[in-house]
Chains A and B, each alone.
Chain A
Amino acid sequence: MAAAYRWNFAPVFENADVLWAGAIGTLRLFAICVVLGFGFGLVVGLGRHAKSRWIYLPATAFVEFFRNTPVLVQILWFYYALPILLPFEISPLTAAALGISLNSAAFSAEIFRGGIESIDRSQAEAARALGMTAAQAMRRVVLPQALRRMVPALTNRGIEIFKMTTLASAVAYVELLQQGKLLASLNFNPIETYTVIAIVFFLCLLPMVQATYALERRLGRADA
């Protein structure tokens, strides 16, 4: 039997300010990636839905490329390789935000496309029959209905994005895991530090997920 481990969380809490800085970094990266990832994902998803092959093919190529390459590799590539091709430096935040956002855009594009295509064609038809343009029909009639159906899938994506922010530690971006690594190596207490990091992630995500459940219930009521 292994010797009993004596847990000691004091050094972790003494450095709460270090973790706090990490939490701010995590939230900042998360906010950027959710907005860019979902926003660009919607654009790409509409492109995947388009009839013109000049829109459809590039959108499809984008989705397949970023779905089928690891985010960690993308972040490292943006950080180390992109500055060689471009005349300026790339900060860790930019590299991480690019990698995670583009990956999330690729995955959420498929959610948006699926949601849009799940709405019966007759809905867009009724909108067009009133004299709406295709864009108006999409914005006023199809998307609002599709978004309701997409809330669970987008919630999952959001959770993924939040957890993917830890990959930014690979380029030394100041986020929770990066700060945890720093503390663990200074205090030689990886067990306690990573335990706290895991709990902080859980405590951040749980309320967000609960909030989206409440949103789902509210949207469901109006529908029924």
Chain B
Amino acid sequence: MTTTPLLRVRALHKTFGDHAVLRGIDLDVMPRDRIAILGASGSGKSTLLRCLNFMELPSAGTVELGGQAIGRAAPGKADPDRRTYDQAELTRVRQRVGMVFQQFNLFPHMTALGNVMEGLRTVRGQRESEARARAQVELARVGLADKADAYPARLSGGQKQRVAIARALAMDPEVLLFDEPTSALDPELVGEVLRVIRALAEEGRTMLLVTHEIGFAYHVANRVVFLADGVIHEQGTPDEVLKHPTQPRTRAFVERHREFDF
């Protein structure tokens, strides 16, 4: 059976000034894929994620969403692979590609429910009652039905991140991007967020997850991608990459993260 990849990334480059962060990434994300992206800090993993919903515009290369290449080829003299992006198109793309941030980025002037309703109201143009009902369903899914009227300042980090996940889910994204969703959390709050993400994985949602939680990646991902110096250094099943890495750098990374395992 052949299926079109949900996301198809080809020769993706991103440079900031003269610093090349991504240096040619090829990646296919199939429906129901759960891809963990690992790598040392500065390896480009967050930048890769941010290029997939165009929070950062790729410097070169293409991203296809559901078989449609995003942007228009606009070859320059120096870089023949350059593309230009239309803001209206990117706005539509972002409605299909949800993102959860490391720092949650909830809207502090809205309640938990207000945060989840916001996209439905402003982007989808739903009626108040319709958006409210949907937002309540999503808050219940992340176990926060009772916190609907709380402002973010009154929520713990773990609760904030679960609201942020509900906010992304309400838009029915085809792909979910998690950018180090537990890195800003106290250790005792990590579990509640990972459990929500695992439940979403078990529902068959397509997701890419940048994380330092190697154990979680091992149990939840179906593919692991190890980035180093802005390229995919090694990839495969969790067992291949995390238990039997072939590349020295992957091996060193995994060992470093398991140093204090017992």
Contact A129 B107 (CB under 8 A): no
- Determine, out of B90-98, B224-232, B233-241, the stretch whose residues face the partner at the interface: B90-98
Task: Tell me whether A130 and B153 are in contact (CB under 8 A).
Answer: no
Known: A122-B101, A130-B171. 12 other contacts (CB 8 A): A125-B101, A125-B105, A126-B106, A129-B98, A130-B118, A132-B122, A134-B87, A136-B122, A140-B122, A141-B118, A222-B109, A223-B109
Q: List residues of chain B with CB under 8 Å of any chain A CB.
A: 53, 55, 87-88, 91-92, 94-95, 98-99, 101, 103, 105-109, 118-119, 122-123, 151, 153, 167-168, 171
Name B109's contact: one of A126, A130, A144 (CB within 8 Å).
A144
Instruction: List residues of A whose CB falls within 8 A of some B CB.
Output: 122-123, 125-134, 136, 140-141, 144-145, 148, 222-224
B87 to A130, Cβ gap below 8 A?
A: no
Q: Are B108 and A129 in contact (CB under 8 A)?
A: no
Rounded to whole angstroms, the CA-CA distance of A128 and B107 in the bound complex is 12
The 10 nearest A-B residue pairs measured at CB: A131-B95, A126-B105, A130-B119, A129-B99, A131-B123, A131-B94, A122-B105, A144-B109, A136-B122, A140-B122
Q: Assuming the A-B contacts A122-B101, A140-B118, are A131 and B171 also in contact, with contact meaning beta carbons closer than 8 angstroms in the complex?
A: yes
- Asked if A129 meets B122 with Cβ closer than 8 Å, knowing A122-B101, A141-B107, the reply is no
Q: Are A130 and B167 in contact (CB-based, < 8 A)?
A: yes
**B94 and A129 form a contact (CB under 8 A):** yes
Alpha-carbon separation in the docked complex, A128 to B91 (Å): 7
Query: Closest CB-CB distance, A195 to chain B, in whole Å?
Result: 45
Q: Report yes or no: A136 in contact with B123, Cβ–Cβ below 8 A.
A: yes
Q: Identify the closest chain B residue to A142 (Cβ).
A: B107
Q: Nearest A residue to B111 by beta-carbon distance?
A: A222
Give the Cβ gap from A143 to chain B, nearest Cβ, in Å.
10
Q: Contacts A131-B171, A134-B87: A122 and B103 contacting too (C-beta < 8 A)?
A: yes
A125–B99 CA distance with the chains assembled, in angstroms:
10
Q: List 14 contacting pairs A-B, 8 Å CB cutoff, sorted by A.
A: A122-B105, A125-B101, A126-B101, A126-B106, A129-B94, A129-B98, A130-B118, A130-B119, A130-B123, A130-B167, A131-B92, A136-B123, A145-B107, A148-B109
